[in-house]
Amino acid sequence: MNRLTTNASLFGAALAATFAFYACGDDSSSGPSGDSGTYTSTETNSSSYQMLIDENSQTMHLSGSGDFENMCLVKGNTVEWGQVKVTSGERLAQYKFVGDTLAILWLDNEEGEYEDYGEMFVGGTAGNIYGSWSSIPCMYHDRGRDSRTICDSDFEGVQTTLTISNGSFSKTTTKTTSQASASDYPTSLFRIHLFTYLATGSKGDIPTAGDIFGHSFDQVPTAEALAMLGIVSTDVSLTGESFTYAGIPVTVEIQKAFKMDDDNKAAIVNVTANGVTCTGIREEFEEISREYCTTENINLFDTDSDTDANGNKYYYAYDYLNKNIDEFRTCIQTILPVTPAQ
**pLDDT tens over the chain, length 342 residues:** 444 434 444 544 444 343 333 333 333 333 343 444 556 778 888 999 999 999 999 999 999 989 999 999 999 999 999 999 999 899 999 999 999 999 999 998 777 789 989 999 999 999 999 999 999 999 999 888 788 998 876 555 789 999 999 899 999 999 887 766 778 899 999 999 999 999 888 888 999 999 999 887 777 778 888 888 889 999 999 999 999 998 899 999 999 998 887 888 999 999 999 999 999 999 999 989 898 999 999 999 999 999 999 999 999 999 999 999 999 999 999 999 986 544
Inter-axis angle of helices 189-200 and 8-15, to 10 degrees? Answer: 160
Burial 142-165 (b: 16+ CB within 10 A, else e): beeeeeeeeeeeebeeebbbbebe
- Cα 29 to chain centroid, rounded: 26
Q: Which helix (H) or strand (E) holds 224?
A: helix 223-227
Res 9: pLDDT = 47
Res 4: pLDDT = 41
How far apart (Å, rounded) are the C-alpha atoms in residues 119 and 147?
A: 14
How far apart (Å, rounded) are the C-alpha atoms in residues 320 and 40?
A: 19
276 burial class (0-12, 13-18, 19+ CB within 10 angstroms)? exposed
Res 21: pLDDT = 39
Res 153: pLDDT = 67
The secondary structure of residue 128, as a DSSP letter, is B
Check if the beta carbon of residue 231 is closer than 8 Å to that of residue 243.
yes
Res 90: pLDDT = 93
Res 38: pLDDT = 59
The secondary structure of residue 215, as a DSSP letter, is B
Q: Alpha-carbon Rg of the chain, whole angstroms?
A: 28
- What lies within 8 Å, CB to CB, of 329 at 6+ separation is 203, 206, 208
61 burial class (0-12, 13-18, 19+ CB within 10 angstroms)? middle
Question: 300 — phi, psi (to 5°)?
Answer: -100, 0
3-state helix, strand, coil in the chain (%, to 5): 20, 50, 30
The secondary structure of residue 125, as a DSSP letter, is B
Specify the 3-state DSSP secondary structure of 130. coil
How far apart (Å, rounded) are the C-alpha atoms in residues 259 and 213?
A: 8
How far apart (Å, rounded) are the C-alpha atoms in residues 316 and 294?
A: 12
Res 176: pLDDT = 80
Res 67: pLDDT = 92
Res 226: pLDDT = 85
- On the CB side of 291, how many CA atoms lie within 13 Å of its CA? 12
Instruction: Report CA-CA distances (Å) from 77 to 7, 73, 249.
Output: 54, 11, 44
Res 30: pLDDT = 34
Question: 145 — phi, psi (to 5°)?
Answer: -70, -15
Res 296: pLDDT = 96
Check if the beta carbon of residue 80 is closer than 8 Å to that of residue 294.
no
Res 7: pLDDT = 40
